Amino acid sequence: MKKHTVLSSQAQTDTIEHLTDVLIIGSGAAGLSLALKLADHCNVIILSKSDRNEGSTRYAQGGIAAVFDEQDSIEAHIADTLVAGAGLCNEEAVRFTTESAKSALEWLISSGVPFDTEKDDKGKTRFHLTREGGHSHRRILHAADATGEALQITLNDAVAEHPNIHIFECYNAIDLICSKSRPTYSNGAYVWNLKRSHVEVIRSKFVALASGGASKVYQYTSNPDVSSGDGVAMAWRAGCRVANMEFNQFHPTCLYHPQAKNFLISEALRGEGAYLCHKDGTKFMHKFDERADLAPRDIVARAIDFEMKRLGADCMYLNISHKPSDFIRKHFPNIYRKCRSLGIDITREPIPVVPAAHYSCGGVMTDFNAKTDLENVYAIGEVAYTGLHGANRMASNSLLECVVFAHAAAKHILTALPNSDTPGAVAPWDESQVVNADEEVIIQHNWHELRLFMWDYVGIVRTDKRLERALRRIQLLSQEIQEYYAHFRVSHNLLELRNLVTVAELIVKCAMQRKESRGLHFNLDYPDLLPEAKPTVIKHELSKPTVQPGSLATGISDE
């Protein structure tokens, strides 16, 4: 059995402490990749809010983009990404990612990820490459239509076999612990043990935020329940800058069915010839973009939203039934089975679809080593703003970013590790002045209110008036939540709600600063592009340390 250092394990009322070299908050592609690149050289704890499989990685269907075809080029991949990002990508970040793509994929291949293969004209085996919206070439490696699941399983198996990696399942990170003597240094994190309903401390030399996105801030989302913006909120409270939070990607084609929760219909269908249409079969994407059904996600999502509102329709339709049935079942077995279980035969009829909040393009600002504004804190994956995505994520660049920046972070951490200090002493968690919550219904009410008005006011199409209304409501909710947090013991739902309201405010404030429509951010009051594309950066001026609920203690380390 794997062992890790437990500094104290006393009575239920005392704080349990753990010590490790690197604490990774999140167990998706980014966190697992980082752990595997580090573990031969140091001890690692991975924090998983649910079980280790439950994250956005598992549900990623399409694949991972990299140049493997001789007819393709890195320059073409760069150009496509820049176009999809609506002029807001950091070109250096795009080049860094695309140039690192093939080696990242080769590492995944050597790790055992079962990407699909095919025979070429000479009978030689090669990887099957598909094409998705925004890509000019076939460059997507995939494992049927469940690439994320294949990636998650492969990396999880490797992590489980490594003696230096310890996974804490059902742990929710509360806050980074800041140092009194070094305000830009973190000694680790306070974490909530869901099974014991108790706060513990993890002290670490380095912390990596790999906690995923924040799409749960919206009423309708394709993301799993764990996507509540925890990493962004924690980094913000600790003093990190965030950027481009106004760019929320709405996946254009989420399955519309009362029994289907959060099920995506991959863009790879459109890459293989599927087209969007009305209920009567009339195509409409050619009216919105010359690329028609292969237009980027933001254009497709707005087109579907426009047609639904224009016609008063509950959904639009995606049709691939004109392709051979064997082809459909072979390339999209997961989607075929899911739809068939709901009475929809995609080989014979179109699929009802609606847009849903999918991924964020903004997040915690990092450099190309994935390092944040804090000395020893890194951010990788959807939690981070690297500059790669600009105003819109291009399909299958997301998992790529996770692996590329995980490798970059690992390299930087291992360089710094020999000179790193053991983290200083940490103030124990103090619950002496709080009581158990008396009305959980307050949390549930605030939760539903927040997600509903974010969907209505800060969704696919925005206006200044809607944003102002949203901000007023967020500020009222934030005050209520902070009062609740100060007087009652923490709970899983309270921690998520606290993070979601923080992220919602960041989204709205970023959106209010952008006086144009670009990529995923569309404001009816500013329908045109500004001549110069600039990221929206928000800096947090810390006036005082984060205070523990109901406590006079500051919750920062003693040294």
CA distances to 38, 61, 110 from 148, in Å: 22, 6, 17
Mean pLDDT of 502-521: 97
Can you tell me the distance from the alpha carbon of 266 to that of 196, in angstroms, rounded to the nearest whole number?
A: 38
Can you tell me the distance from the alpha carbon of 374 to that of 385, in angstroms, rounded to the nearest whole number?
A: 15
Q: Would you say residue 144 lies in a domain?
A: no
- Both 326 and 301 in a single domain? yes
- Both 178 and 192 in a single domain? yes
* Amino acid 6: pLDDT: 61
- Give yes or no for a contact between 493 and 447, defined as CB atoms under 8 angstroms apart: yes
Can you tell me the distance from the alpha carbon of 216 to that of 261, in angstroms, rounded to the nearest whole number?
A: 13
Q: For residue 304, report the phi and psi dihedrals to the nearest 5 degrees.
A: -65, -45
Can you tell me the distance from the alpha carbon of 77 to that of 264, in angstroms, rounded to the nearest whole number?
A: 25
Min mean pLDDT across 29-38, 85-94, 251-260, 375-384 is at 251-260
- Both 431 and 552 in a single domain? yes
- Both 197 and 230 in a single domain? yes
- Both 352 and 420 in a single domain? no
What total number of domains does the chain contain? 2
- Tally helices (H) and strands (E) across the chain: 14, 21
Catalytic residue from among 52, 297, 451, 473: 297
Q: Within 10 Å of residue 233's Cβ, how many Cβ atoms?
A: 28
In the structure, what pLDDT confidence band is assigned to residue 5 with cuts at 50, 70 and 90? Answer: low
Taking only the tens place, the pLDDT of each residue in 125-134 is 999 998 887 8
Residue 225: which domain range?
A: 10-53+166-247+361-559
* Amino acid 4: pLDDT: 63
Q: Would you say residue 221 lies in a domain?
A: yes
Can you tell me the distance from the alpha carbon of 283 to that of 281, in angstroms, rounded to the nearest whole number?
A: 6
| Averaged confidence pLDDT in the chain | 90
Mean pLDDT of 262-287: 93
The rounded radius of gyration (Å) of the Cα atoms in the chain is: 23
- Both 453 and 553 in a single domain? yes
Answer whether residue 1 shows pLDDT above 90: no
**Which residues contact residue 420 at a Cβ distance below 8 angstroms, ignoring those fewer than 6 apart?**
21, 205, 206, 376
**Amino acid type, 370:** A
In the structure, what pLDDT confidence band is assigned to residue 39 with cuts at 50, 70 and 90? Answer: very high
Domain termination site, one of 303, 337, 357: 357
* Amino acid 235: pLDDT: 97
* 32 SS3 class: helix
Can you tell me the distance from the alpha carbon of 337 to that of 121, in angstroms, rounded to the nearest whole number?
A: 31
In the structure, what pLDDT confidence band is assigned to residue 543 with cuts at 50, 70 and 90? Answer: very low
* Amino acid 513: pLDDT: 97
Higher pLDDT, 440 or 37: 37
Q: Would you say residue 519 lies in a domain?
A: yes
- Give yes or no for a contact between 25 and 207, defined as CB atoms under 8 angstroms apart: yes
Q: Would you say residue 172 lies in a domain?
A: yes
**Which residues contact residue 451 at a Cβ distance below 8 angstroms, ignoring those fewer than 6 apart?**
216, 217, 218, 219, 500
Domain termination site, one of 336, 357, 378: 357
Domain termination site, one of 330, 357, 384: 357
Answer whether residue 258 shows pLDDT above 70: yes
Residues in the chain: 559
* Amino acid 541: pLDDT: 66
- Both 239 and 214 in a single domain? yes
* Amino acid 12: pLDDT: 40
Catalytic, 297? Answer yes
* 385 SS3 class: strand
- Both 326 and 466 in a single domain? no
CATH code where residue 513 lies: 3.50.50.60
- Both 182 and 321 in a single domain? no
Q: What share of the chain is helix, strand, coil (3-state, %, to 5)?
A: 35, 20, 45
Can you tell me the distance from the alpha carbon of 81 to that of 79, in angstroms, rounded to the nearest whole number?
A: 5
Cα 151–154–159 angle (5° rounding)? Answer: 120
Higher pLDDT, 40 or 549: 40
Closest CA to 78 of 106, 64, 99: 99
